[in-house]
A and B are shown apart, each in its own frame.
Chain A
Amino acid sequence: MRKGSCSEEVCFDLLNQLEHLLESDPLIDEVGFIHPSQFTLLDKESGSVTDGSSPSFWNQDHKLGISTDILIQLCKDAKHAFLSTFKEYKCLENASTCESPTKNISSSGVSSCSLESRVMKHSQALLLLSSDFGTAWNARKLILSKQDQPLEAFTEELRLSKPVLSNCPKSEPTWSHRRWIIKMISRSFPTPQLQEIITKESELVESIGERSKMNYRAWYHRCWLVSYMTTEQVLQELKKSKRWAGLHVADSSCFHYRRRLMLRVLETHNVEGSNAYDKTEAHKIWKEELDWNKELVERYLGREALWLHRRFLSLNWIMHFGRNHSSETGQRMVMNEEIVTFVDKEIHLLESCMTVPDTKFEDFQAQALHAAVYMLWLTKNVPELWRMLEEKLGTEKIKCILNTVAQERPTSLLHQLDIFAADLEH
């Protein structure tokens, strides 16, 4: 694969610089691609003069900037260096079957160990430039899984992939690599260390979620962590993620994370079949979440993510805490008193949200729509609610709710509305 007689050491001057930087400052935690004109600005901000560093890179306080002018060349060099070294490495691994010039190299003293470190070095540089380069992540996995590695080898790998996420927070192969490392750790090392890593990992997602909004991959990673959490950790996470969620009410993914935690609470306390009046921990947590969500719904008007969270909370509340003990064997669900009160309150919330003071104010209209659709959605899932709605609101108000939905979503929910319209006839 190598071109002519040029060795990688001579050819890849820029790459050497980058790799040297990474080696000399192992604590780099953030990487970014910046226009060279920004370099002097960054120097001023940090109040320092770059001490003879090249105009291609900027490195202060463990933050690394790479000039956009050299990106294409640097990336091509890194790719070439990695792919040829990795090929050599694989050949050496299968030395008996592979007919390649590397055989001579290996016999002339290039040990598999130094090849390994070169694969690690080149792949690290490459992944900072091209985070989705799956083969480079795989090469690292291959080397890490070879012999019994100490815990530090894996925690170091978690640390090394952090700056990649700082630049590419949505990189799926990077998140996947972290999951692989955590799985490796969970197989070979004792629980307390794993728990600490899980907690740190969860904090990492939150800090990345701050800079990269509604990042599905990051929040999926956090949800994935839940299965490794102890019950105590689940409860802590519920508390810890609350403040962040309250400040990011449009981020549906962070509310999904809470849903994942809430379901773990249900599982743990095995709520199915237990007495609905039991003031279990789950009951208390669920109630708190419902109350808190209502506060947010009333404070931040027209937020889809908050209303969707309420759909989940209310439906589960009715399904898990609303059954009378006696009704479990029956076909039809019988509402207990607590649920009747709950539904009363929800109808009241709906009515207050349907009051649009100024028709030109979009937030109020959105709030009315979300409230109306929320109630219809609940009713679709729990048909028994329909009768309660009719009793409380009367036909006129129900028509008003249906109209609100029909105005905003001309054809979308027509099918559902047909059912209700037919119901109105009877």
Chain B
Amino acid sequence: MSSSSSTFQMGQLVADKHVRYILMSEKKESFESVVMDHLRMNGAYWGLTTLDLLDKLGSVSVNEVVSWLMTCQHESGGFAGNTGHDPHVLYTLSAVQILALFDKLDILDVGKVSSYVAGLQNEDGSFSGDIWGEVDTRFSYIAICCLSILKCLDKINVEKAVDYIVSCKNLDGGFGCTPGAESHAGQIFCCVGALAITGSLHHVDKDLLGWWLCERQVKSGGLNGRPEKLPDVCYSWWVLSSLIMIDRVHWIDKAKLVKFILDCQDLENGGISDRPDDAVDIFHTYFGVAGLSLLEYPGVKAIDPAYALPVDVINRILLTK
């Protein structure tokens, strides 16, 4: 709290420029944009959620987005990253989240989507990402988050799903993608998020995990995702949301983190990068703004740390029958 005085010397969030950057991002063609084509669904979720957090979702055409989105759905119920591609839970969650943002979940055949997701649960409680069987705690989170939004958690064995996630806990308090895999802030977010949604946070050693997470803050104020790595804006989301869910966010220096994120903005053309002076992209723009939202930065709507959607969107879904 003593460091809050430094807030006054900080730069400001150039929200309007970020909005412009997001709205323009689909128009420029680069090699990066061509090789990102297969995960357009994720890109749409990052861009649209950022717009909503900045209260500018109204500047996109809902029908245009939704009609494209529905061309990505397969017979199985799962969504692909773009038209003509194979379905995967990674894109299915993004599709559901986008529809939630637009309050358009009613156009979904909920039974079909939820059956696709539930069908990917394995005997040991884990989840595969698609029919090809790669297992990862990221997919556990995605399945649980997705089914919770669709109010279909009863379609899976939640107890087994939780047990599997707990089996991925390491001695340092963190979590990896499968049992025995190295702790990683992104995987920790997934595991803690899934445990939060299923009301199972008592499985987390909060002090121990909080210790590991707060050691991710480096001298510049930014957060890294693993020991000895450089700080990166995207961990402002993954580390911070995890710390909030386990009620240990006061263990890091929030003011320094706000400054780090603001230093990663392109003040002229909008967009946020991984580190100061690097090239911006839509992924880091989303995680930067989402991080600022968790840090209660003025002018940014509140985001839910587990569902990764604006709080008002989540309330609208969870509070209605």
Contact = CB atoms under 8 A, between A and B. Distances in A.
Given A76-B34, A223-B182, A316-B171, A411 B228 contact: no
Interface residues of A, number: 55
Interface stretch (A18-26, A126-134, A290-298, A337-345): A126-134
Contact of A411 (B176, B208, B229, B250): B250
A315 B182 CA distance: 17
A259 to B, nearest CB: 8
Interface in A381-426: 381, 409-416
Given A180-B133, A251-B228, A308-B227, A130 B38 contact: yes
The binding surface of chain B is classed by DSSP as loop
Contact of A223 (B180, B207, B208, B229): B180
Interface string B213-247: 01101000000001111000000000000000000
Given A180-B134, A220-B182, A253-B182, 12 more contacts: A72-B34, A75-B31, A130-B35, A138-B86, A179-B134, A214-B226, A220-B181, A308-B172, A380-B211, A412-B251, A415-B210, A416-B207
A412 B80 CA distance: 41
Contacts of B80: 135
Interface string B292-312: 000000000000000000000
Interface string B61-96: 000000000000000000011001110100000000
Contacts of A220: 176-177, 181-182
Interface string B171-194: 110001110111010000000000
10 contacts: A75-B34, A83-B84, A133-B35, A133-B38, A134-B86, A220-B177, A224-B181, A253-B226, A316-B171, A416-B207
B30 interface: yes
A75 B38 CA distance: 12
Contact of A71 (B31, B178, B229): B31
A119 interface: no
Interface string A190-228: 000000000000000000000000101001100110100
A189 interface: no
A250 interface: yes
B152 interface: no
Interface in A54-77: 68, 71-72, 75-76
Given A72-B29, A260-B180, A413-B251, A129 B132 contact: no
Interface in A213-260: 214, 216, 219-220, 223-224, 226, 250-253, 256, 260
A414 B228 contact: no
A378 to B, nearest CB: 12
- Interface of A, secondary structure class, is helix
Given A72-B29, A75-B31, A220-B177, A315 B171 contact: yes
Interface of A: 1, 68, 71-72, 75-76, 79, 83, 87, 129-130, 132-135, 138, 141, 176, 179-180, 183, 214, 216, 219-220, 223-224, 226, 250-253, 256, 260, 263, 303-305, 308, 311-312, 315-316, 373, 377, 380-381, 409-416
A415 B207 contact: yes
Given A130-B38, A416-B207, A72 B250 contact: no
